[in-house]
């Protein structure tokens, strides 16, 4: 009998140890869905890269928000042969009066490549929640597009964002964009998480691959704003080619409204859109104490009025929580610098790319760690954001399949598949996030999560549904 008691006690303590270990070491779900390892580029004669007909016709048309509040839009396009017209003709759908706006054009050279004429035109003081039609080009090469302005900012304004990162120009990239366009939730604006064309992966940083990528995304980016985040593949720092100006192609091609948020660089800025306040950071610019990016974010976060824009979202390229062997711990320095601010100001979500897979964290923080106290294990923290990595757009490197084992406790769901995300704001207290893998039907959600707003509903219990 005594031996049996000792045995039962030993089993009891063994089970306790297993439970304790699982609490610290084992996270949520790692989906074992099987996907192919590599992705092939689409042929250059693919329809998605088609040049518009007519001499010097505008191409690579894309739009982004043009001011802080959402009443402005930046319309960008390229004419390949000569400057052509800088004029944008635009009018609201219910008006016969046509307006004119004049833009500028820029060019750049990169090694043996010379760009076309890159046009940017900012239109301001548009009406909220209004459909506009715009035209660019001359004569028989005039092209017409449309876009919808957001509603006026307000705490209970519903709005739906799409999330795409690390897209590239492969067959899987095309599936990702098609799946996003066909999603019945109908995203109204894309939050793009960095790594656009991957031109630097081609010989001599082949900048013609910026042109093919611009034509590829035009089918969506000409009709709804894409909010740009810079990634490592936009650096284009190539001393061996005597190219030493970082981000040169990106900053010439993709204008953003950084000055309206008092930023000194187009690589970090903020916008308001409907009920969301979106802060864009640069993982590949200096962000240590007293740097321009550090000072800007320090001054920017207190400006957020959660009674007007309750949803506070941060975009960056390199994730600061990641349980994949690919790019493991690369975001640690940014975590050390900024995580305490994310917790203090109750950021709702931090979206990142870079790692070519999908992962969603629990609400955790590691702000107690000071490198000497040993408190290096993230803890549950209901004031902390949810960290979501969506670097799974379809680039030619293929999905990042090297997951760290065992799955860390901070990780709620992870999967090395291509796909896109949807962040659907319902009101000031609730938003619904879903992740859609490319291999599934349009409406299927591989992972989903109800967000309870950290400011208006800080103690709401989050509901998770994974399939």
* Active-site hit among 97, 205, 317, 327: 327
Residue 317 known to be catalytic? no
Instruction: Say how far apart CA 107 and CA 113 lie, in whole Å.
Output: 11
Q: What backbone phi and psi angles, to 5 degrees, belong to 212?
A: -65, -40
CA dist 335 and 365 (Å) reads 10
Show the tokens assigned to 208.
């013609």
d(CA 120, CA 253): 9
What's 324's DSSP letter? Answer: B
Angle at CA of residue 315, ends 193 and 285, nearest 5°: 85
3-state helix, strand, coil split of the chain in percent (to 5) is 20, 30, 50
- Pairing assessment for the beta strands 269-273 and 226-227 based on DSSP bridges: unpaired
- Taking alpha carbons only, the member of 269, 280, 264 closest to residue 192 is 280
Q: What is the DSSP string of 249-297?
A: HHHHH-----GGGT-SSTTSEEEEETTEEEEE--TTS--STTSHHHHHH
List Cβ neighbours of 260 (8 Å cut-off, separation of 6 or more).
67, 68, 72, 269
* Integer Cα distance of 70 and 124 in angstroms: 9
Q: What length does the chain have?
A: 467
Q: How far is CA 284 from the centre of its chain?
A: 15
Active site residues: 327
């Amino acid at each position: 009998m005594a031996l049996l008691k000792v045995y039962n006690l030993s089993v009891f303590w063994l089970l306790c140890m297993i439970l304790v270990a699982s609490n610290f070491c084992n996270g949520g779900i790692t989906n074992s869905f099987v996907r192919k390892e590599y992705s092939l580029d689409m042929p250059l004669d693919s329809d998605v890269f088609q040049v518009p007909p007519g001499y010097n016709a505008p191409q690579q048309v894309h739009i982004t928000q043009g001011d802080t509040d959402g009443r402005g839009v930046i319309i960008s396009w390229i004419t390949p042969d000569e400057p052509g017209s800088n004029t944008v003709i635009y009018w609201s759908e219910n008006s016969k009066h046509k307006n004119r706006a004049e833009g500028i054009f820029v060019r750049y050279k990169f090694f043996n490549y010379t760009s076309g004429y890159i046009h940017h035109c900012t239109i301001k003081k548009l009406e909220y929640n209004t459909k506009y039609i715009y035209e660019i080009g001359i004569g028989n090469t005039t092209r017409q597009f449309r876009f919808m302005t957001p509603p006026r900012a307000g705490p209970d304004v519903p709005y739906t964002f799409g999330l795409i990162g690390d897209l590239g120009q492969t067959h899987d990239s095309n599936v990702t964009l098609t799946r996003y366009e066909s999603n019945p939730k109908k995203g109204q604006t894309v939050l793009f998480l960095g790594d656009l064309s991957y031109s630097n992966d081609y010989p001599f940083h082949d900048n013609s691959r910026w042109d093919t990528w611009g034509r590829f995304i035009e089918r969506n980016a000409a009709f709804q704003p894409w909010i740009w985040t810079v990634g490592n593949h936009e650096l284009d720092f190539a001393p061996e080619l005597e190219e030493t100006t970082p981000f040169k192609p990106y900053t010439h091609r993709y204008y953003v409204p950084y000055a309206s948020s008092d930023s000194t660089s187009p690589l970090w800025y903020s916008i308001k859109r409907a009920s969301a306040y979106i802060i864009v950071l640069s993982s590949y610019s200096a962000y240590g104490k007293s740097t321009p990016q550090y000072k800007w974010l320090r001054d920017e976060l207190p400006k957020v009025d959660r009674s007007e824009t309750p949803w506070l979202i941060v975009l960056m390229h390199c994730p600061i929580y990641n349980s994949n062997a690919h790019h493991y711990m690369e975001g640690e320095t940014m975590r050390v610098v900024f995580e305490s601010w994310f917790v203090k100001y109750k950021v709702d979500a931090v979206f990142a790319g870079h790692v070519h897979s999908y992962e969603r964290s629990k609400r955790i923080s590691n702000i107690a760690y000071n490198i000497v106290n040993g408190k290096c294990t993230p803890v549950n923290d209901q004031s902390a954001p949810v960290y979501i990595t969506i670097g799974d757009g379809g680039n030619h490197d293929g999905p990042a399949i090297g997951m760290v084992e065992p799955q860390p406790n901070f990780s709620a769901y992870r999967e090395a598949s291509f796909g896109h995300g949807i962040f659907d704001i319902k009101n000031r207290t609730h938003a619904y996030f879903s992740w859609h893998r490319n291999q599934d039907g349009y409406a299927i959600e591989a992972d989903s999560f109800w967000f309870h707003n950290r400011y208006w509903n800080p103690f709401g219990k989050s509901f998770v549904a994974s399939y």
